[in-house]
Structure 1
Amino acid sequence: MTLEAHVTQGPLTTEAGAPVADNQNSATAGAGGPVLIQDQSLLEKLAHFNRERIPERIVHARGAGAYGTFTLTRDVSQWTRAAFLSEVGKETETFLRFSTVAGNLGSADAVRDPRGFALKFYTEEGNYDLVGNNTPVFFIKDAIKFPDFIHTQKRDPYTGSQEADNVWDFWGLSPESTHQVTWLFGDRGIPATLRHMNGYGSHTYQWNNEAGEVFWVKYHFKTDQGIKNLTQDEANKLAGEDPDSHQRDLREAIERGDFPSWTVQVQIMPEADAATYRFNPFDLTKVWPHADYPPIEIGKLELNRNPENIFAEVEQSIFSPAHFVPGIGPSPDKMLQGRLFAYGDAHRYRVGINADHLPVNRPHATEARTNSRDGYLYDGRHKGAKNYEPNSFGGPSQTDRPLWQGTSVTGVTGSTTAPVHAEDNDFVQAGNLYRLYSEDEKSRLIDNLAGFIAKVSREDIADRAINNFRQADDDFGKRLEAAVQALRG
């Protein structure tokens, strides 16, 4: 559908539908006199203008999105009973929002920052939201640390700027971040475009089949366009010349019919393996090595339609990892558990209690049947139906079948660390990643890290940060220390 098809014909009207006689001049008390309060067209326009933006996201504020299609290419019914994953060739409408994490709504696209990869499947059993990033791991493993982490990435309350001291003080005191930081400052830290990067579900999720068997799953979205990245110098130049570079590239690619796509893979772990696996499988700072659980190709994701209004469809779109469908559920991942609350709570504050009623957010392949009523922007969809359950007036009723299988737990409640597995530590996978890099990749990684650490004002903060990388790999630490010293003189 062309943009021209949406141009409304006929007279300009007020919000109430009355025709506007003059949209060029305010009503005044005589020529050159003060403006009259009775000019309701003027007051309505100014009042709406003051309110036409909702609060931006605290994180992931800067984003772009598009609609598309997920097509299942492999029978996965042995692992999950999810209906949209039930038949080879089945297509499901999707909406994907890409984003940077730390920057505000007006920041540039070409920056060193993880990219959000939030995917909504409009399935016949309800919407399924998969909230991930373009990295398979994250900086922290427990949601209780998330506000503190984000505060270090955002503007300092005193200086009003992002401060290297804050960033490296937190990372140095949180050695679990070493793996993700090694990713972030490597070549893939600044994607050339949104089309030329992978996506990951990052967290571990539960799949369960018709027999009630449980499997732990990680999602991978491998770009079919190939990986392309920017160097720090290229990104600095592009961010200044075209801050909208990633958003523009995605929109224009879809406009010309060059639809980006990703091959969808999953790693699958039988439930019984989790207790004795060498790494904690629910630790968001760790990957499952492919040699242990090889990725299995299950489908294709294609983006093929641009949103027609960025505010309505991208900024007001909401994603929550608590939006599951039958056959898919959460894991004991402590970061995921926190996000099950935090994402929905953010949307209730930012968009409103009826955010799920908006076209981009409501189910497209089924109907939401809930007893929730009223509140800000409620659209009256329930009409005169009863708003309680159970009722004898033909209202919706419970199914008596949970979406996912329960997880066995033992022990005493309290604030505890996650169980430690045989090879768990904060540095082993960061070291493995460093040793996978080519010599050129290592050099660029060292340069990127050193350039940022050299901005730290206190030697103890810099030394602690460097020491984390030394524990990951001795060569890594030695080279980084020398590079930082050279820059600091």
Structure 2
Amino acid sequence: MSEQEKTVKLTTASGRPYYEHENSLTAGPRGPVLLEDYILHEKLAHFNRERIPERVVHAKGSGAYGTFTVTHDITKYTKAKLFSEIGKETRVFLRFSTVGGEKGSADSERDPRGFALKFYTEDGNWDLVGNNTPVFFIKDPKKFPDFIHTQKRDPYTNCKSATMVWDFWSLNPESLHQVLILMSDRGTPYSYRHMHGFGSHTFSFINKNNERHFVKFHFKTLQGIKNFVDAEATAMKGLDPDQAQRDLVEAIDRGDFPRWAVKVQIMTEEEATNYKWNPFDVTKVWSQKDFPLIDVGVLELNENPDNYFAHVEQAAFAPAHIVDGISFSPDKMLQGRILGYPDAQRYRLGANYEQIPVNRCPFATNNYQRDGAMRVDGNGGKAPNYFPNSFSNVQPDPIYKEPAQNLGNVVADWYDRNGENENDHYTQPGDLFRLMTPEEKKNTISNIVGAMKGIDGPKRLEIINRQLCHFFRADIALGLGVAQGLGVDISAYSDTLHAN
């Protein structure tokens, strides 16, 4: 095969091969460019749209794929399938990041480091979105925008402001724990490989008996802790602002795969009630003397993404993404992030961001979400986009129902909206019908019949009969009138008629 035969043809985004990639179509060799040159339009228009909004926080980051391998049995605490047996491997994607700087900021800034993990499990994707610190600056999500504003640029000077930063911290003493960590040498890690990671928040484990334990996640670097001192970090900003990114890529490329020992702390619900500190306060840690670290497994990064934008920049993490056997806690900051993070991703990447390959669950996903920009998965075909319905076999599975959570004087649960004393759907509609004049009743029945005659398809009689039962329960005359108008044999409703 000749070199020419091996060549891959250059095409437009729609697939048309073309030749003139470098020269614009002009009126004569020195003439103006013609509007007809749509290749020029496509190149410039796409170029203008190559940048997506950068993350508000954690804008600059690095990422890689790898595996999580279970080494110890924790099934007495959780039924999550990724922990189901020793030796089980789960593919992961891990994104490291700085927090306060822009996408072009230096890797060696004094800043917390993001440690965001996506586990691709058979029960869906689990996102554990943490930092390289076990605590955070604030403990209520209402304070988050104010705090982040102090880490960004002054609205007058457009420069970073130590005044804003320390003003906020001095007015919020809850920040002191995290401030001390940040101001230590751990505020300037040597590389992403040489730092610990933490889930930071308190989460829940739920076991096969539907028993709840609270849990904190720890990732202990097996490369050892290594930090810059302040002068070294400052020098590295000028020498190589991308030092941590470069270090991670080169380490994986040469087969020096970074690894972390995965451990958890476990607390019972009773212990949480009686602990000396609020166990759901993210500005506090759980003493490892009181709640020792329990070995779980090993995390290894062993695959660099082949394209940074496709994988790292488009990676989207949200604490809202949990799996069966893992749940939340009353941690206020976690509750706020459950809302804030997926909302940020929808703004940044669009409503269908979970269809992007790095974010897509590699196993089955079934739901009633439809439409939106960049919907690329067939959009559910002709299947209905509402629930409940009479056509689809996509149903909620009760085995995944979580246990209720006792919050002291109230129980948080998914209460049946039609439970006891909430399930009379017929008395008031029946009273309304009986208040109508004979002419109003006649017109109402006629309008209903006219609307229901539009029901068609193989489920027509099933839908009509189900709705007629509701009309009969509200008022027998209403049900009889609609049934007669539709030509339905009312003998099938004898039980309902007798009940009324």
- For Structure 1 versus Structure 2, the TM-score category normalised by the shorter chain is 0.7 to 0.9
TM-score, length-normalised on structure 1?
0.81
In the other structure, the counterpart of 2:257 is 259
CA contact (8 A) 1:68 1:305 kept: yes
Q: Percent identity?
A: 58
Q: CA deviation at 1:11?
A: 1.5
Distance 2:44 2:10 in 1: 16
CA shift in 2, pair 1:136/1:403, >3 Å: farther
- How do 1:53-452 and structure 2 match up within 5 A? 53-364=51-362, 366-381=363-378, 382-402=380-400, 404-409=402-407
Query: Deviation string for 1:318-371 (max 9, x for gaps)?
Result: 00001011111000000000000000000010000000001000112x111111
CA contact (8 A) 2:355 2:377 kept: no
CA contact (8 A) 1:207 1:404 kept: no
| Consecutive unaligned residues in structure 2, runs of 5 or more | 1-5, 411-500
CA contact (8 A) 1:223 1:262 kept: yes
Q: CA deviation at 1:147?
A: 0.3
Q: CA deviation at 1:402?
A: 4.3
Distance 1:404 1:230 in 2: 45
Distance 2:159 2:409 in 1: 44
SS in 2 for 1:30: coil
Q: How many pairs are equivalent?
A: 405
Distance 2:96 2:293 in 1: 23
CA contact (8 A) 1:374 1:380 kept: no
Q: CA deviation at 1:92?
A: 0.3
Distance 1:117 1:255 in 2: 21
Bigger Rg, which one: 2
Distance 1:107 1:411 in 2: 48
Distance 2:153 2:82 in 1: 42
CA shift in 2, pair 1:328/1:403, >3 Å: farther
SS in 2 for 1:195: helix
CA contact (8 A) 1:328 1:403 kept: no
Q: CA deviation at 1:379?
A: 1.0
Aligned AA for 2:177? H
Distance 1:241 1:28 in 2: 46
CA RMSD of aligned residues (A): 1.4
TM-score, length-normalised on structure 2?
0.79
Q: CA deviation at 1:21?
A: 1.6
CA contact (8 A) 2:354 2:360 kept: yes
| Consecutive unaligned residues in structure 1, runs of 5 or more | 1-7, 413-489
Aligned AA for 1:378? R
Q: CA deviation at 1:404?
A: 3.5
Aligned AA for 1:367? A
1:44 aligns with 2:49: no
Distance 2:15 2:134 in 1: 51
Distance 1:234 1:68 in 2: 30
In the other structure, the counterpart of 1:436 is none
Query: Deviation string for 1:104-157 (max 9, x for gaps)?
Result: 001110110000000000000000000000000000011110000000000011
CA shift in 2, pair 1:385/1:27, >3 Å: same
